[in-house]
Amino acid sequence: MRKLGLAMMVIFVLSILGACNSNEEASAPADKEKNEPAKEEVVDQELLDAKAKFEPLGEMPVPADNPMTDEKVELGKTLYFDPRLSGNNVQSCMSCHAPGAGYGDGMSTFIGFEGHQGGRNSPTIINSGYYPTNFWDGRAGSLEEQALGPIQSEVEMNQNLDELVIELNGVPTYVEQFNTVFNDQISADNIAKAIAAFERTIVISDTAFDRYLQGEEDAISADAKEGMKLFVGKAGCISCHAGPLLSDYSYHNLGMSGDEGRFDVTGNEEDKGKFRTSGLRGVAHTAPFMHDGSLETLKDVVMYYNAGGGDHANKSVLVSPLNLTDKEIDNLVAFLESMSGELQMIDAPEIPSN
């Protein structure tokens, strides 16, 4: 009996020791976990440095002599869609700057008055109010001046401004609207102001790129982030596409021949073949690209620069081979696409009758 009791006690002690050992083993990983140092988050300093070089678009600049009002914008919108602004009452501003085509026309070069084949691509009006000069060659010093240019051009809309004023004065609704908006009669100056006011409302500023700048880390893809680093670094795009509009507002020769560009405005030899740097917000909506519409896709554009541009004698020293890999080209395209945002669509207004 004494032996049996001793055996039972040994078994009891061993079971307690086993349970303690199990508890120690179970708690060991937790203790070990507590003692492990926290993993440090990896910081991509190159990306942070690249990101710091960009800034938001900011407010649209509005000239003091042409303040924005809802009534003026609506009048400008109606004029923008009205074919009376062309000499044959067929074309309107919208013909070459259509909302569904990224406020361009989707063609390499424009088709003008009675089928004239133009030599340049129709530039988008997206964010056009931010530029200090307008047109590819910068010949217009304001959006108001730009608005009247195509109307008078013999190869674009071919409308005499004096005749246009007479024609619009024959439309009672326009007479009333101009009097309400400007407290004045219909004039070429007021036509320009109304159209420019409308064009200043066509803005793209809320893009994935902008949301990323504001701190939304997942707003753009990993490829786009790599593209941002290339844009600032190896590809050197930021040399010209900088500032709020992602344009230096300047003129550069990218190696393309066949058009004298800025030279036709200034007469300076150094301006031969130079064209204005385009802003990039909304860029994916505005194909084809370049002043002659010769590049169909954003990838074509990047590949053109990667090859070092064309061979024009006045080509900018900023344009040289980039030696990007295929993956780097795709990453740069992804970054450009992140700047594009949603295209602002508008409904065509009712054109007033005589």
Last residue of a domain, one of 169, 199, 229: 199
Domain-located, residue 124: yes
Same domain, 211 and 190: no
Last residue of a domain, one of 161, 179, 199: 199
Name the H helices within 183-318.
Answer: 188-199, 208-213, 222-232, 263-266, 298-306
Amino acid at 156: E
Last residue of a domain, one of 175, 199, 223: 199
Catalytic (active-site) positions? 156
Query: For the residues of 87-139, what is the DSSP string, one character each?
Result: TTS---HHHHSBGGGTTB-SSSS-B-GGG-B-SS-----TTGGG-SSBSTT--
Distance of CA 267 to the CA centre of its chain: 30
The DSSP call for residue 278 is P
Predicted local distance difference test score (pLDDT) of residue 349: 97
Average pLDDT over residues 155-173: 98
Predicted local distance difference test score (pLDDT) of residue 23: 46
Predicted local distance difference test score (pLDDT) of residue 11: 41
Average pLDDT over residues 73-97: 98
In angstroms, rounded to a whole number, what is the distance separating the alpha carbons of residues 246 and 58?
Answer: 12
Same domain, 245 and 312: yes
Render pLDDT for 249-275 as a digit per residue (tens, 0 to 9).
999 999 999 999 999 999 999 999 999
Task: Say if residues 256 and 292 touch (Cβ distance below 8 Å).
Answer: yes
**End-to-end alpha-carbon separation of the chain, Å?**
125
Domain-located, residue 14: no
Distance of CA 48 to the CA centre of its chain: 22
pTM for this predicted structure: 0.88
> Which CATH number do you get for residue 209?
1.10.760.10
Query: For the residues of 58-85, what is the DSSP string, one character each?
Result: -PPP--TTS---HHHHHHHHHHHH-GGG
Predicted local distance difference test score (pLDDT) of residue 25: 45
Same domain, 119 and 180: yes
Predicted local distance difference test score (pLDDT) of residue 285: 98
Render pLDDT for 308-325 as a digit per residue (tens, 0 to 9).
999 999 999 999 999 999
How far is the CA of 118 from the CAs of 112, 274, 293, in angstroms? Answer: 6, 18, 11
**pLDDT: is 39 or 222 the higher one?**
222
Same domain, 213 and 324: yes
Same domain, 186 and 215: no
Count of residues making up the chain: 354
Amino acid at 208: A
Total number of domains constituting the chain: 2
pLDDT beyond 70 at 190: yes
Same domain, 193 and 212: no
Same domain, 186 and 271: no
Predicted local distance difference test score (pLDDT) of residue 42: 85
Task: Say if residues 84 and 167 touch (Cβ distance below 8 Å).
Answer: yes
Range of the domain at 297: 205-338
Render pLDDT for 291-301 as a digit per residue (tens, 0 to 9).
999 999 999 99
Average pLDDT over residues 227-233: 98
Same domain, 243 and 305: yes
Q: Which of 159, 158, 155, 157 is nearest to 118 (CA)?
A: 155
